[in-house]
């Protein structure tokens, strides 16, 4: 079962890292853009 689960674990961990980085980058950018508009 470990061989079958390995790709899934990589996908889950990669997704968590990606979403974390995305959140840390996108939210400040969106906030800045919204804050600039009058």
Q: What is the pLDDT of residues 6-35, one digit of tens each?
A: 889 999 999 999 999 999 999 999 999 999
Neighbours of 13 (CB within 10 A): 10
Residue 16: give the domain boundaries.
1-38
Domain count, the chain: 1
pTM score, whole prediction: 0.54
Give whole-number Cα distances, 9 to 1, 22, 34, in Å: 12, 19, 36
Q: Report the alpha-carbon distance of residue 13 to residue 21 in Å, rounded.
A: 12
| DSSP H/E element including 8 | helix 2-36
Task: Please determine, for residue 1, whether its predicted confidence score (pLDDT) is greater than 90.
Answer: no
**Residue 11: burial class (beta carbons within 10 Å; 0-12, 13-18, 19+):** exposed
């Amino acid at each position: 079962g470990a061989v079958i689960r390995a790709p899934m674990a990589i996908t889950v961990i990669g997704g968590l890292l990606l979403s974390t980085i995305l959140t840390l980058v996108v939210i400040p950018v969106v906030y800045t853009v919204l804050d600039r508009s009058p």
